[in-house]
Structure 1
């Protein structure tokens, strides 16, 4: 009887190797950031703060700001370097910005400046189109639509951001700089068909100031003189 009990005890007791295999395997330690693990995603709050910070840095040039001394060089449609700080040193400048070259709205805006180009040059202003497109695409667009002015390429959005016209997408807009480089007008956003008209209006008002004031101001002075007489 004792031998039978001992034999039953031996057969019912699990082997050590079986007990070890039945235990759950220890969980693998998570890899530390930078050691093959996935980087933590930025929270929405952090992303918004970064965007706001970028916008604050972008909004540098305002009415009254000057291009003179601005150390930015961009290629035109031919790949030729254009020094932004010098473009208004001898003549006034109108810069109009388009979101994307050779698209309907942008073509409407560009062709409107083309058709009114002589009015700008006669007033002493050069015209430039600015976008984030590569110069090759701009060159094809210029030839296709016979655009008489240079198209500046800013794929890294250095100048576009400095104008406050967008860090990820270019806002349709225009900026007018008087001779010497001081900004006298800024329109953002602006409609494609109205951009050139508003730019010409700004140039006209600036010209009237140089002649002694706007028509309304001259009329007021005349009325004051008549009253004194």
Structure 2
């Protein structure tokens, strides 16, 4: 059968010009790409955002964001420990903050006088305020007997200072946030503080303790015991 005459689309070698895909043409037109022969790119190539290195490998595009290093949380630091303190033992050398955020070595508290340290579960709560105000009102009796008074809790110095100002407490407050001294005294259990009080004679030896004790009884029991001690 005789061949049909060649059309104008045939090249010099008698080959037909490549057909353009309707689907590809539409995709390229949507992104404004040229559809001239030799300038055709597949949609995936157009959307490619990776850079190609000289070796032909792809390198991810940098976002320019810096990775933040996690900060160390002071609360994650293991708490130090003290040996248990019982009747007959002395106050250890251990530094706490007072309500003014000042360092206080508890071993120095009884250097010149006896000391009463009473413990409260939480500052500015009803029971603790009752106990603290009881020591406030009887404070002259303790000082006349040769004893200083300190309040000890796990509250932060700022909270203690606010409570001290609010209730006009004339004695210092000590902050033991990790309950190190509180636990050594036998008044820390399950992340809580047991209401209690401890009496140390001059020189630092523990001579009496009440764990637990009722808020209203704590100041009275402490003073009654001090009155039984021989005067120096």
Q: Which of 221, 224, 228 is 1:198 aligned to? A: 221
User: Equivalents in 1 of 2:194, 2:211: separation in Å?
Assistant: 7
Equivalent of residue 150 in structure 2, options 128, 132, 136: 128
- Structure 2 residue matching 1:100: 3-state secondary structure: coil
1:26 aligned residue: none
TM-score, L = length of structure 1: 0.64
For residues 6-35 of structure 1, give each alpha carbon's deviation from its aligned partner in whole angstroms, at most 9, with x where no partner exists.
xxxxxxxxxxxxxxxxxxxxxxxxxxxxxx
Aligned mates of 1:205, 1:165 — CA distance in 2: 24
Query: Which residue of structure 2 lines up, in the alignment, with residue 49 of structure 1?
Result: none
Displacement over 3 Å in runs of 4+? none
Q: Aligned ranges for residues 44-123 of structure 1 at < 5 Å? A: 60-67=84-91, 70-123=92-145
Mapped to 1, the partners of 2:193 and 2:206 lie a distance apart of: 19
2-structure distance, mates of 1:158, 1:173:
15
- In structure 1, the residue matched to 2:210 is 187
Deviates more, 1:167-176 or 1:139-148: 167-176
Structure 1 residues 58 and 82, CA gap change in structure 2 (3 angstroms): closer
Q: Matched residues in 1 for 2:83 and 2:105: separation?
A: 20
Count how many residue pairs are aligned between Structure 1 and Structure 2. 151
Q: How far did 1:206 drift?
A: 1.1
Please provide the CA RMSD for this pair: 1.4
State the 1:71 CA deviation.
2.3
Gaps of 5+ in 1: 1-56, 212-229
Please list the CA deviations of residues 35-88 of structure 1 after superposition, one character each: whole Å capped at 9, or x if unmatched: xxxxxxxxxxxxxxxxxxxxxx87711111111xx2210010000111111100
Change (3 A) 1:188 1:58: farther
Q: Which residue of 1 aligns with 2:63?
A: none
Query: Which is helix-richer, 1 or 2?
Result: 1
Q: Residue 154 of structure 1 is aligned with which of 167, 176, 180?
A: 176
| CA deviation after TM superposition for structure 1 residue 180, in Å | 0.6
**1:65 and 1:182 in contact (8 A); partners too:** yes
8 Å Cα contact 1:128/1:152 also seen in 2 = yes
Shift of 1:201: 1.1
